[in-house]
Homo-oligomer: A and B are copies of this chain.
Amino acid sequence: MPSYKAPLDDMRFVLNEVLNVSQLKEIRDFAQVDDATINQFLEETAKLAENVLFPLNATGDREGCVHNHNEKTVKTPRGFREAYQQFCQAGLPGVACDTAYGGLGMPIVLNTALSEMFCSANMAFAMYPGLSHGAYNALHTYGTDEQKDTYLPKLVSGEWSGTMCLTEPQSGTDLGLIKTRAEKQADGSYKVTGTKIFISSGEHDLTSNIIHLVLAKIDDPSTPPGIKGISLFVVPKFLPSPSQSGVGARNPVYCGRIEEKMGIHGNSTCEMNFDGATGWLIGEAHKGMRAMFVMMNEARLGVGLQGLALSETAYQNGLAYALDRKQGQPIEAKMSDENLGKPAVSIIAHPDVRRELLTIKAQAEAGRMLLYWVSMQLDISLRHPDEERRKAARKIVDVLTPVMKAHFTDNAVDNTNGAMQVFGGHGYIREHGMEQYNRDARITRMYEGTNGIQALDLIGRKVMKENLLPAYLAALWHDIIAGAGAGVCPWLLIRVAKSGWCRLWWITYKLRLKAALGIVLSKAGMPGYMRSVMVDAGGMATDYLKLFSIVAMGHMWIKMATVAKLRLKENPEGQAFYETKLATARFYSDRIMPQARALSRMINRGSKSLMSIAPENFAHTQTNVGLKSWTKPEKPAGTAT
């Protein structure tokens, strides 16, 4: 049976010792954030995660959600309703929400710590409140005062939940293809009609109302085609009413079916049918993508967080098994017969098992550091009194959002696989629980924009268009200097610095130069060159993101090693926690950083080999020879030596 303990020590190390989160006090809104509050908050939420959510994880996976076709309702797994109520009673839906609407007004970075624990304990459950927060954010940013007053208090209290309704059968990544239509009514509302698919938490029995944020095109000849003609609407399941329950008439938006999926069975993934449902425009007409990106960017950070959270749970369980399971002799004892019949050792003695575990550990700890650091930058970007600080922080958030979304989720699939691998064949058996983490993790690489889309967002928008790399490299440089001052292993510093400048910066520089040249040439009527730059960027996008990720994770190891070094200088005795941090940093530097070199080579080789095969020749079919005319060559061209 799997287990989960919130890694409070590591969280505190990151929050307090490295990030010094209580410095956020200088932001007026966070004046109440002191150490005691943070500490109590972490301990209380850890209890809920460990004792309430985690026990529902395996049962939720087995039971799944049940759709009642006649009543068009969805029943969540046993225990989810009660757990959700406990969650709301503790005020947790509104941890980082505006106090004006009943939120606790705490920093986002603390909500991140909470969400990590909840996703580690039960990802399918954590998705229900997780999506509400996106709806809260979009309404908070773009809603009218009336909309805010109507929806925000209920979303903040958790009485109502929210969804994001984007995807349609023919329209996934390419939202320009959506067909859902909104027809304006005399009272200023709209009738929304269309079918949305893959709507997480689209229908369930946890809350008294569900607030759908829906992308649709206004039925009007002036609506521009494609992506520029999309608007965002709020479409509640029950129309808001001043009645005591807060809800009025049932709006015609119904769950047509739920998907059978590989994992996250405890979360309902719904097809939602809008049959002329009443909705109201959020923000301006045709500016829906802008409002949607407020939700989407938060959702992307949230998905990265899910990936990290699953890596953590996978690590804990892989480690527990490696300490408990006894097989074989230490490798150095195998030389002689004299060890025959000696008791077997815990498999953590075996170097290859350690490699598997340390790979997960090194990525989970650096991932936590990166996620919390960026979350704190998000707090600064939203609330800091100094505009320069806000802007600088926003750049870090923007450039690292696709990096974390893609890298943490790729890692989650690999790490849940790696932890299963520690179990050997037992990892494949459901009762050990490891295979569920892998199945749950798998969706994170795909939803809220596939990782390929994240890579294009990074290279196309964040690096080439908005030129955010220098802001990130400045932060990296600052930490390298601090690390050098603290006496961090020079190899780690040099390898990260080299990958940051020689590889990442150099590739970016060449690409931007080529693009600039392309723009000049295309004005001179030579667009072919520009096309090839774009194709090159597209072809290297995923490897570029991986390279960026490896640098960013190494950067986080520098941050952590710096603090560990200082602690060990203050008190060199019995500080196993800090010594382990340094050893893990070294593992990262020795065994993961070298990938940077391979990736920069792959990137440098360009996209020619990607683009030279015509679509019809991708199949293995020897079309020019044909199945029947298999003729043996005269002389054997290869011989069976």
Contact = CB atoms under 8 A, between A and B. Distances in A.
A426 to B, nearest CB: 8
A465 B495 CA distance: 35
Interface stretch (A88-96, A151-159, A290-298, A352-360): A352-360
Interface in A13-66: 13, 16-20, 22-23, 35, 39, 43
Contact of A613 (B23, B225, B340, B580): B580
A109 to B, nearest CB: 10
B613 A602 contact: no
Interface stretch (A136-144, A208-216, A373-381): A373-381
Interface in A426-449: 426-431, 435, 438-439, 442-443, 445-447
Contact of A373 (B319, B420, B597, B640): B640
Contacts of A574: 624
Given A424-B450, A610-B358, A177 B327 contact: yes
A594 B609 CA distance: 14
A436 to B, nearest CB: 9
Contacts of A417: 413, 442, 445
Interface residues of A, number: 166
A85 interface: no
Contacts of A438: 262, 442
Interface in A208-244: 224-228
A249 interface: no
A57 B10 CA distance: 45
A228 B439 contact: no
A100 interface: no
Given A427-B446, A446-B428, A624-B575, A39 B452 contact: no
Interface in A342-373: 344, 346, 348-358, 361, 365, 373
A526 interface: no
A614 to B, nearest CB: 8
A9 to B, nearest CB: 4
Interface string A600-620: 011001111111111101111
B566 A583 contact: no
B539 A261 contact: no
B350 A621 contact: no
A517 interface: no
A185 interface: no
Contacts of A598: 594-598
Contacts of A621: 7, 9, 577
A595 B597 CA distance: 9
A420 B475 CA distance: 36
Determine chain A's interface SS by DSSP, over half rule.
Answer: helix
A619 B319 contact: yes
A115 interface: no
A283 interface: no
Nearest to A109: B640
A246 interface: no
Interface string A261-289: 11100000000000000000000000000
Contacts of A575: 624
A186 interface: no
A539 B355 contact: yes
Contacts of A428: 259, 261-263, 442-443, 446-447
Contacts of A623: 576-577
A5 B320 CA distance: 44
B19 A638 contact: yes
B562 A583 contact: no
A637 B566 contact: yes
Residue among A174, A331, A537, A639 having the largest count of chain B Cβ atoms under 10 Å:
A331
Interface stretch (A187-195, A301-309, A501-509, A627-635): A627-635
A42 B478 CA distance: 64
A334 interface: yes
A349 B575 CA distance: 55
Given A331-B534, A630-B12, A348 B618 contact: yes
A452 B20 contact: no
A607 B351 contact: yes
B439 A352 contact: no
A313 interface: no
A328 B602 contact: no
A260 B542 CA distance: 36
Contacts of A380: 640
Contacts of A478: 641
26 contacts: A9-B620, A10-B622, A16-B630, A17-B633, A18-B638, A19-B638, A167-B425, A171-B327, A172-B425, A177-B327, A225-B340, A227-B340, A228-B337, A263-B428, A316-B619, A331-B535, A331-B537, A332-B532, A334-B534, A350-B452, A354-B610, A421-B445, A421-B452, A425-B447, A566-B637, A594-B599
Given A7-B621, A597-B598, 12 more contacts: A9-B625, A10-B620, A17-B637, A20-B637, A173-B327, A332-B532, A350-B538, A352-B542, A356-B452, A424-B450, A563-B638, A595-B598
